[in-house]
Amino acid sequence: MSKIICREAELKRNNLWAPWRIGYIQGLDKKQGCFICHNAGYPQQDEENFVLWRTKNSLVMLNKFPYNNGHLLLASVRHIAGLEELSDEEMLELTKLIVASQKVLTAAIKPHGFNIGMNFSRCAGAGLPQHLHIHIVPRWEGDTNFMDICADTDIISQSMKDLYKQLKAASAENNLPGF
């Protein structure tokens, strides 16, 4: 019991501070449509949409409003909200993509750890509750400490385009996602 409380307190303390996300959150209600479906439908725009991988049933893309450098989003191609709607094949594919995502990020930018999670409904923090997606957030020792001190500075130090190229190269070198 006390262990659980301690861990919760620890998680709260380690929340990432990402002030640039406010533009995204404020724009949510204005935005028409679904950016994941949009990205899925326009493979010719993968580079500008930062879509890293396409597999049979899924997409992996860089989050344009990252919590931390290298923040990836994994999504089913199908516009569905709940895990219970996934087929076994889709579920297996997304799980394999979690592993492949950790591998490519480790090869390219060497995180010390990861937060991996999903949010369901707005109240739980889902920016796009209608289309399920998994967040892969790389973490480095001391990243929260650094941000507490320099909250207003640009902590996403690597540009999205550079990062995209780096992840594409690491994918090719390591044969990822590998299916």
Which residues does the annotation mark as catalytic? 133
Q: Closer to Zn ion at the Cβ: 46 or 109?
A: 46
Residue 37 contacts Zn ion per CB under 5 A: yes
Q: Which alpha helices (DSSP H) does 47-142 contain, by range?
A: 88-109
CA-to-CA distance for 52 and 132, rounded, in angstroms?
A: 18
Q: Which stretch binds Zn ion (CB under 5 A): 66-74, 91-99, 110-118, 125-133?
A: 125-133
- CA dihedral sign, ordered 3, 8, 13, 14: positive
Would you tell me how many other CB atoms lie within 10 Å of the CB of residue 161?
12
- CA dihedral sign, ordered 64, 65, 68, 71: negative
Taking the complex as a whole, how short is the minimal distance between the CB of residue 165 and Zn ion, in angstroms? 27
Taking the complex as a whole, how short is the minimal distance between the CB of residue 35 and Zn ion, in angstroms? 8
Supply the DSSP symbol for 58: E
Spatial neighbors of 78 by CB under 8 A, at least 6 apart, are 57, 85, 90
CA-to-CA distance for 158 and 69, rounded, in angstroms?
A: 7
Residue 133 contacts Zn ion per CB under 5 A: no
Token pair in block for residue 89: 């094949």
Question: Nearest-CA neighbor of 80 among 121, 30, 130?
Answer: 130
Q: Which of 21, 54, 79, 96 binds Zn ion (CB under 5 A)?
A: 79
Taking the complex as a whole, how short is the minimal distance between the CB of residue 108 and Zn ion, in angstroms? 27
Q: Which of 18, 61, 101, 131 binds Zn ion (CB under 5 A)?
A: 131
Residue 36 contacts Zn ion per CB under 5 A: yes
Q: Which stretch binds Zn ion (CB under 5 A): 53-61, 131-139, 145-153, 159-167?
A: 131-139
Q: Closer to Zn ion at the Cβ: 15 or 130?
A: 130
Residue 71 contacts Zn ion per CB under 5 A: no
Residue 132 contacts Zn ion per CB under 5 A: no
Q: Which chain residues interact with Zn ion by CB under 5 A? A: 34, 36-37, 79, 131
